[in-house]
Chains A and B, each alone.
Chain A
Amino acid sequence: MQLQTTRFGTIEIDLNEVITFTQPILGFQEYRRFILLPGPSAYLQWLQSTDSGELAFLIMNPKSLLPSYALQPAPHELTELAATTVEDLDIFTLVVIPADPSQIRTNLKAPILINPKHRLGKQTILDRSDYPVQYFLAQPQPSTTQPRETTNARSDA
């Protein structure tokens, strides 16, 4: 099947590669079928809707950013995605790239789960407060906080 997309022109889609979402990406209820396309780097991919050529999300492997990123889907979620364990699933997070590079962020709170074998996916909401909806990729580095401390010390003096 051919699909006309705004970002990638006309692309040929293998229907066997289409991933069906059991739960929608919130706010996009009517778009349930997607394919994965290579992104601009090894850990970035595009989730292109096959229902609308205009709709695509840039997604990343959150572990490439936070190696400790982990989640435990509820048993009914594993069943829903025809998975036995979390290892059967690929985990992605949506990336937002605004004009200001310091605002580049990813949504750790509501990751996308995909079972690549059975071609099923969903967006889930994690029940934990340490994974924010907006996780900024440009986190303050120790080298940038140190000069600030020096400034404070100077103003105290």
Chain B
Amino acid sequence: MLVLTRKENESIMIGDNIEVKVLDVKESQVKLGIVAPRAVTVHRREVYLAIQEENAKAAGTAQVEDIAKLLPS
């Protein structure tokens, strides 16, 4: 892993069109600003993980004859 030290208002470039800027550092929280093309999706990692986990559970759904009965009609 590449490790860089940055101060408030300093930033890093990822490739030539993604900028990650440190906006604010307060106690144990860092506020980041991200400038990226719209085609680049940016989400908190925990959102990704939650969706991945839920997808895995969805894949575990078996053929249940009476699923329809369990759902509101």
Spell out A's residues near B (CB within 8 Å): 7-8, 25-28, 39-41, 44, 55-58, 60, 65, 74-76, 94-98, 101, 104, 107, 109-110, 123, 125, 133-134, 137
Closest approach, in angstroms, between the C-beta of B21 and any C-beta of chain A?
19
- Across the interface, which residues of A come within 8 angstroms of B51, CB to CB? 26, 107, 109-110, 123, 125, 133
Q: Are A125 and B47 in contact (CB under 8 A)?
A: yes
**Interface presence of B8 (CB below 8 A):** no
**Interface presence of B57 (CB below 8 A):** yes
Partner of B43, one of A25, A125, A134: A125
- The verdict on A137 contacting B71 (CB below 8 Å), with A26-B51, A26-B52, A74-B38 known, is yes
- The verdict on A40 contacting B59 (CB below 8 Å), with A74-B38, A125-B41 known, is no
- Across the interface, which residues of A come within 8 angstroms of B71, CB to CB? 41, 44, 60, 104, 137
| Interface size band for B | 20 to 34
Task: Offer 16 A-B interface pairs, CB within 8 angstroms, sorted by A.
Answer: A25-B55, A27-B53, A27-B55, A39-B67, A41-B68, A44-B67, A44-B71, A57-B55, A57-B58, A57-B59, A57-B61, A58-B67, A76-B38, A97-B61, A107-B51, A109-B47
Closest approach, in angstroms, between the C-beta of B35 and any C-beta of chain A?
16
* Chain A facing B: main interface SS: loop
Q: Are B59 and A76 in contact (CB under 8 A)?
A: no
Q: Are B61 and A134 in contact (CB under 8 A)?
A: no
Q: Are B38 and A40 in contact (CB under 8 A)?
A: no
**Interface presence of B24 (CB below 8 A):** no
Closest approach, in angstroms, between the C-beta of A99 and any C-beta of chain B?
10
- Across the interface, which residues of A come within 8 angstroms of B65, CB to CB? 40
**Interface presence of B62 (CB below 8 A):** yes
Across the interface, name the chain A residue whose C-beta is closest to B39.
Answer: A76
Sample of 17 further A-B pairs with CB below 8 A, known A97-B67, A110-B51: A7-B62, A25-B55, A39-B67, A41-B67, A41-B68, A56-B61, A57-B58, A58-B61, A74-B39, A96-B54, A96-B57, A96-B58, A96-B61, A97-B70, A104-B70, A123-B55, A125-B43
Q: Are A95 and B68 in contact (CB under 8 A)?
A: no
Bound-state CA distance A154–B65 (Å) is: 43
